[in-house]
């Protein structure tokens, strides 16, 4: 959005096209970079400046990937090269000009033949090789491949109807009048899949009125599964930008108290904006790092922790994130999560609930955290997550639930509930 503002682009269709072009190019970064590296050898694409890197990737995506590596258009390639010269300058483009013809004609098989199985799946599904190996080890080859293929396509858009500002039926009817076709999600309250929309959802008057929140099905499930009760006291840890808080207030019918914690003052500004828009009147924000402590007086009936994670379950929506991770990222994140959940434990009242969720599919950030937590805190007991719409947790933690993009058509997610007995 910053680039759009800098360039002064106002045409929504042009913005959507540019966004899609960048996201889909970034999704295939490993395949595109390997292809480019064979042509520009002995140099690699990362040795060029950022402008050239971006141009080469977009050039290969538009001239080869979009054409399924077969139907070549020299006219289009020349046009793209011309735009590159106009934006980057003749001198900058001069070094790579000789490679453009080779990039237009080289066969894809030159980089896919002769590689080992993990790298082949990596290139076919556009994931880091180390992550492919991790998934095969965790789920087995067949299920891992299905998951990786499922993470290539963004899941549907979901919304949650907000009954604090209008009745559910009235909002559904108004959205229909505004050109939005919805499909109710079975077993989840107020949750709908967006089948089609004539306008961007955030441009609708219903959005401005706070009658719905754009929220993935998995996130809606995690909040509903926590089962907050009207009149109860809730601590919402890692609360920004407000999806959980606003749904908690809705399920509690604006009765009781919610204390929302997040370490980011910037994200908390968004939280304040969203809670106002959604009519959430019982939530109070506090900027604090829960990794250090949860500095709240007293205990809560329900503590919800949705900590930072590697986001391995949302690669379909955020493809750039998978290229920033490494195997050590999982361990580093699980260390942080372990500190957070231990800090939350002491804030749960006797008989109260601690709900834990991530948008990651790794064992270390999910079942591993819960197993270690239960050993350190025998006063907590794992209880069933309801309703049963996901897959059972791994490592024998069948009370937990997992959601996967290729099975549940939403973000990958993990949910666990523990009661302080």
Task: Write the CATH number for 16.
Answer: 1.10.940.10
* Count of domains observed in the chain: 2
Same domain, residue pair 226 and 108: no
Q: What is the pLDDT of residue 7?
A: 61
User: Is 303 among the domain residues?
Assistant: yes
User: Is 148 among the domain residues?
Assistant: no
User: Is 162 among the domain residues?
Assistant: no
Same domain, residue pair 344 and 226: yes
Distance (Å, whole) CA 73 – CA 82: 14
pLDDT digits (tens, 9 = 90+) for 43-80: 999 999 999 999 999 999 999 999 999 888 999 999 99
User: Is 276 among the domain residues?
Assistant: yes
User: Is 244 among the domain residues?
Assistant: yes
User: Is 256 among the domain residues?
Assistant: yes
Distance (Å, whole) CA 312 – CA 330: 10
User: Is 360 among the domain residues?
Assistant: yes
Do residues 191 and 179 lie in contact, with contact meaning Cβ atoms separated by under 8 Å?
A: no
The residue behind tokens 């961007």 is 200
At 366, which CATH number?
A: 3.40.50.150
The rounded Cα 310 to chain-centroid distance in angstroms is 10
Q: What is the pLDDT of residue 17?
A: 84
Q: Which of 406, 405, 399 is nearest to 415 (CA)?
A: 399
384: left (phi over 0), alpha (psi -120 to 50) or beta: beta
User: Is 231 among the domain residues?
Assistant: yes
Same domain, residue pair 239 and 90: no
Q: What is the pLDDT of residue 9?
A: 73
Do residues 356 and 303 lie in contact, with contact meaning Cβ atoms separated by under 8 Å?
A: no
Please, what are the averages of pLDDT over each run of 10 residues along the chain (421 residues)? 66 82 96 97 96 97 95 93 94 95 94 93 97 98 97 96 98 98 97 96 97 98 98 98 98 98 97 98 97 94 98 96 96 98 97 98 98 98 97 98 97 98 91
* Neighbouring-strand partners of residue 335: none
Q: Which residues make Cβ contacts (< 8 Å) with residue 173, sequence separation at least 6?
A: none
pTM: 0.94
Domain that holds residue 60: 2-113
Kindly report the number of other CB atoms within 10 A of residue 330's CB atom: 21
Q: Which of 58, 93, 113 is the last residue of a domain?
A: 113
Q: What is the pLDDT of residue 4?
A: 64
Same domain, residue pair 222 and 96: no
Backbone angles phi, psi at 135, to 5 degrees: -65, -40
Q: Using omega within 30 degrees of 0 as the cis cutoff, is the peptide bond preceding 25 cis? A: no
DSSP SS3 for 166: coil
Q: Which of 113, 147, 176 is the last residue of a domain?
A: 113
Q: Which of 83, 113, 143 is the last residue of a domain?
A: 113
Do residues 168 and 256 lie in contact, with contact meaning Cβ atoms separated by under 8 Å?
A: no
Distance (Å, whole) CA 331 – CA 310: 10
Same domain, residue pair 260 and 388: yes
């Amino acid at each position: 959005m910053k680039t759009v503002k800098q360039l002064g682009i106002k045409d929504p269709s042009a913005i959507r096209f540019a966004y899609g072009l960048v996201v889909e190019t970034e999704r295939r970064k490993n395949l595109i970079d390997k292809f480019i590296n064979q042509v520009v050898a002995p140099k690699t694409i990362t040795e060029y400046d950022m402008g050239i890197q971006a141009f080469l990737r977009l050039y290969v995506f538009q001239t080869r990937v979009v054409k399924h590596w077969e139907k070549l258009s020299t006219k289009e390639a020349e046009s793209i090269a011309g735009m590159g010269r106009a934006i980057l300058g003749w001198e900058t483009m001069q070094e790579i000009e000789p490679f453009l013809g080779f990039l237009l004609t080289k066969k894809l098989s030159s980089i896919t033949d002769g590689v080992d199985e993990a790298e082949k799946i990596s290139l076919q599904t556009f994931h880091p090789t180390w992550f492919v190996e991790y998934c095969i080890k965790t789920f087995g080859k067949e299920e891992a491949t299905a998951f990786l293929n499922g993470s290539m396509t963004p899941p549907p858009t979901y919304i949650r109807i907000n009954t604090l500002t209008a009745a559910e039926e009235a909002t559904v009817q108004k959205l229909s009048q505004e050109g939005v076709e919805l499909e109710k999600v079975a077993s989840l309250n107020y949750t709908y899949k967006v089948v089609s929309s004539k306008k961007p959802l955030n441009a609708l008057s219903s959005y401005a009125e706070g009658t719905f929140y754009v929220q993935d099905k998995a996130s809606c499930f995690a909040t509903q599964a926590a089962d907050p009760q009207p009149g109860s006291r809730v601590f919402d840890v890692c609360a920004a930008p407000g999806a959980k808080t606003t749904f908690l207030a809705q399920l509690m019918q604006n009765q009781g108290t919610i204390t929302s914690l997040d370490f980011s003052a910037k994200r908390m500004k968004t939280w304040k904006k969203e809670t106002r828009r959604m009519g959430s009147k019982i939530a109070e924000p506090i900027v604090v790092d829960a990794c250090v402590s949860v500095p709240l007086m007293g205990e809560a009936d329900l503590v919800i922790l949705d900590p930072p994670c590697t986001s391995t379950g949302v690669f379909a929506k955020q493809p750039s994130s998978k290229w920033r991770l490494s195997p050590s990222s999982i361990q580093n994140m699980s260390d942080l999560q372990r500190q957070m959940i231990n800090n939350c434990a002491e804030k749960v009242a006797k008989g109260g609930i601690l709900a834990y969720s991530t948008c990651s599919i790794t064992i270390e950030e999910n079942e591993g955290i819960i197993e270690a937590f239960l050993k350190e805190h025998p006063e907590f007991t794992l209880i069933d997550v309801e309703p049963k719409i996901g897959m059972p947790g791994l490592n024998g933690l069948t009370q937990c639930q997992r959601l996967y993009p290729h099975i549940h058509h939403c973000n990958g997610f993990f949910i666990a509930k523990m009661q302080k007995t």
